[in-house]
Structures are given as structure tokens and as C-alpha cells.
Amino acid sequence: GGIIFLWDYLKSISLPILIYGTGNGAEKLLVLCHKYHIHIDGIFTSDNHVHKKAFFGYSVMRRCDVLDRYAHAVILLAFGTALESVLTQIQELSHQYQVLVPDLPLMGGQEITPEYITSNRELISASKQLLGDTKSNKF
């Protein structure tokens, strides 16, 4: 299959789209979603991690609220972690929901666009070979 631009994919689906996280990554995701006209249905954090009641106009839900309210959804992961307990929660979410991890230019890097992929196709291909076979072609 061909490469699917993440933002085009998100525009094409009818599932609710949720952001997991309320930090810098979530802020960057909201900016990109606005830029590409992607409607975000909600933002949530881990059950014991809700420090903010609101984030950029969204009420911040807990993970358990998402499990109660949404039978199906696409979750955009907006943070990185090495904590085993959080990784387990993300893995558990992926059994019920489609969990995507967008590449975000957090520290001033370049946004991944179809033009960027086309102009860097050889470098990306070499990188993918280093990583082995991957399931997703979404950027």
C-alpha cells in the first residue's frame, strides 16, 4: 500500500478523535489539527494524572471517563514515556481503540508532510530498513 498522510486519514474517518496528554505535545497536536481542519472530540490523561480541569477550552477527562464514554475512537498520543505503568495503559487502550503516535516537531524540527516525505524518500526508506518491518504507513 501507499503512504497515507495522517491528517488526510483523520479527516476521512467518522470515529471520535481524542488526544491523550495535556503537555507540549498536545498543544502542538491541537495546532496541527486546527491547521488541517481535524475536529478533536476530547482530551484526556491517565486517571491519576489530571492536574488541569481545562486545556485550551477542552474539559480534561480521565482515562476511565474515556473507557465509559467511547466504545470506539482514535486516540492521538501526545507524549513520550518510558514508565512501564503508562506503557501498559497505552497498550491496554490499543486493544479497544486505534492509538496513533504522530511525529511532532516539538523542539523546532520540521513537520512531516507529503512534500517532506517525497523529498526524503531515500532517507526514510533506509531508516525503515534499520527498524525492520513496520505495520503502519501513516505519517
Tell me, yes or no, if the pTM score tops 0.75: yes
8 Å CB contact between 37 and 11:
yes
The percent of residues in the chain predicted with pLDDT above 90, rounded, is: 47
**Buried-state track 116-136, b at ≥16 Cβ within 10 A, e below 16:** eeeeeeeebeeeeeeeeeeee
pLDDT of residue 65: 92
Q: Worst-scoring range by mean pLDDT, 30-34, 96-100, 130-134?
A: 130-134
Instruction: State the pLDDT at residue 3.
Output: 64
Neighbour count for residue 110 (Cβ, 10 Å)? 9
Which three cell numbers mark 68? 465509559
Structure-model confidence comparison of residues 71 and 2, the more confident one = 71
Phi/psi at 55 (5° precision): -145, 110
> Would the pLDDT of 79 be above 60?
yes
Q: What band does 115 get if pLDDT is binned at 50, 70 and 90?
A: low
Of 4 and 75, which is predicted with more confidence?
75
pLDDT reported for residue 33: 92
Query: What CA–CA distance (Å, rounded) separates 81 from 56?
Result: 23
Contact, 35 vs 42, CB < 8 A? no
pLDDT for 42 equals 96
Per-residue pLDDT of 16-65, as tens digits, reads 999 999 988 999 899 999 999 999 999 999 887 766 788 999 999 999 99
